[in-house]
Amino acid sequence: MMSKALRADIMNEWHHAGGFFSQVLDYTIMGYKGLDGGFSIANGAEIENAIGGNAGDLLMGNEQDNRLAGLGGEDTLLGSAGSDTLLGDKGDDWLDGGTGNDTLDGGTGDDALIGGIGDDTLDGGTGNDTLVGGVGNDVLNGGAGNDTLVGGAGDDVVTGGAGYDHFLFSTGHGSDTITDFDGSTDTIDLSGLSGVVDFEDLVDNHMTNDEVSGDVVITVGSDQLRIKGHQIADMSPIDFYFAF
């Protein structure tokens, strides 16, 4: 529910997937407590923040630096342009930062977080989450749960957190670092990395030890994956997936 002053020109409004969505062309909100359902923030609007309710909400930002919070339900938060903060909270949420240097936090639930274009920070929280950094130098933290993490293009720092985590590294992903790989629980998917045939080829032609840092480094063309705290002797075929 809204509080205080609300001035809006609303073109359409309808019920969508259990949530209430308003397509707003121009409005000003001054003083805001929360909204049950969906909400969009139009370009040029003076509002920057929106809070969902306990239903499945659709919250859409604009070119400003928006703060969107889904609260309960299975929410979809779209930051659009600007450096946005998206908070999924409870439920299985979909968060997409769009363009800009965004901060995404899934909260509890099995969430999907997509950074988009920009230097983004993604935190899956609790649950079996999927994190995709997109284009830019991103920081990904899966949190607790069995997570899938994809840095994307750019130089990314990726942390799986507790659980059985799956890291994907492909051609064009740049220079990524995995901070907490655990061979007893985690796997690294190299099936999208052109030029690597199998584990033997990986060790013989693409894997080196960084004696200074104590890390193992995989280099294929201009792409590089650093696995912190490990050496070649620590790695085994079951740590990796390769293209068939």
The pLDDT assigned to 207 comes to: 98
Shared domain for 228 and 124, answered yes or no, is yes
Question: Could you give the dihedral angle defined by the CA atoms of residues 121, 101, 78 and 130, in that order, rounded to the nearest 10 degrees?
Answer: -30
Shared domain for 13 and 78, answered yes or no, is yes
Residue 231 has pLDDT above 70, yes or no: yes
- The average pLDDT across 52-75 equals 90
Instruction: Confirm if 112 and 95 have CB atoms less than 8 A apart.
Output: yes
Shared domain for 67 and 175, answered yes or no, is no
Residues, the chain, total? 244
| pLDDT-derived band at 29, boundaries 50, 70, 90 | very low
Q: Is residue 102 part of a domain?
A: no
CATH number reported for the structural domain that contains residue 144 in this entry? 2.150.10.10
Shared domain for 37 and 118, answered yes or no, is no
pLDDT digits (tens, 9 = 90+) for 205-221: 999 999 999 999 999 99
| pLDDT-derived band at 54, boundaries 50, 70, 90 | confident
Shared domain for 124 and 84, answered yes or no, is no
Shared domain for 239 and 130, answered yes or no, is yes
Q: Is residue 103 part of a domain?
A: no
Looking at 91, 123, 148, the residue that finishes a domain is 91
Shared domain for 182 and 212, answered yes or no, is yes
From the list 90, 89, 84, the residue with the least C-alpha distance to 67 is: 84
Rounded Cα distance, 74 and 52, in Å: 11
Shared domain for 32 and 66, answered yes or no, is yes
Strand order in the sheet with 207-210: 49-51, 67-69, 85-87, 103-105, 121-123, 139-141, 157-159, 175-178, 223-227, 215-220, 207-210
Point out which residues pair with 18 in neighbouring strands.
none
Residue 40 has pLDDT above 70, yes or no: no
- The average pLDDT across 98-127 equals 98
Question: Could you give the dihedral angle defined by the CA atoms of residues 156, 69, 127 and 189, in that order, rounded to the nearest 10 degrees?
Answer: -30
Shared domain for 82 and 139, answered yes or no, is no
Most confidently modeled range among 1-10, 43-52, 219-228? 219-228
Return the SS3 of 181.
Answer: coil
The pLDDT assigned to 83 comes to: 96
| pLDDT-derived band at 41, boundaries 50, 70, 90 | low
Which residues constitute the domain of residue 11?
1-91
For the entire predicted model, the pTM comes to 0.82
Report the number of distinct structural domains present in the chain. Answer: 2
Residue 13 has pLDDT above 90, yes or no: no
Shared domain for 216 and 131, answered yes or no, is yes
Q: Is residue 151 part of a domain?
A: yes
Shared domain for 117 and 34, answered yes or no, is no
Q: Is residue 35 part of a domain?
A: yes
Across the chain, mean pLDDT equals 84
Q: By CB neighbour count within 10 A (0-12 exposed, 13-18 middle, 19+ buried), where does 238 fall?
A: exposed
Give the DSSP H/E element, type plus range, for residue 201: helix 199-201
Q: Is residue 196 part of a domain?
A: yes
What percent of the chain stands above pLDDT 90?
73
Shared domain for 225 and 123, answered yes or no, is yes
| Structure token pair of residue 181 | 């790989």
Q: Is residue 104 part of a domain?
A: no
Looking at 91, 124, 155, the residue that finishes a domain is 91
Q: Is residue 97 part of a domain?
A: no
Q: Is residue 46 part of a domain?
A: yes
- The average pLDDT across 134-146 equals 98
pLDDT digits (tens, 9 = 90+) for 151-206: 999 999 999 999 999 999 999 999 999 999 999 999 999 999 999 999 999 999 99
Higher pLDDT, residue 143 or 24: 143
Looking at 91, 121, 143, the residue that finishes a domain is 91
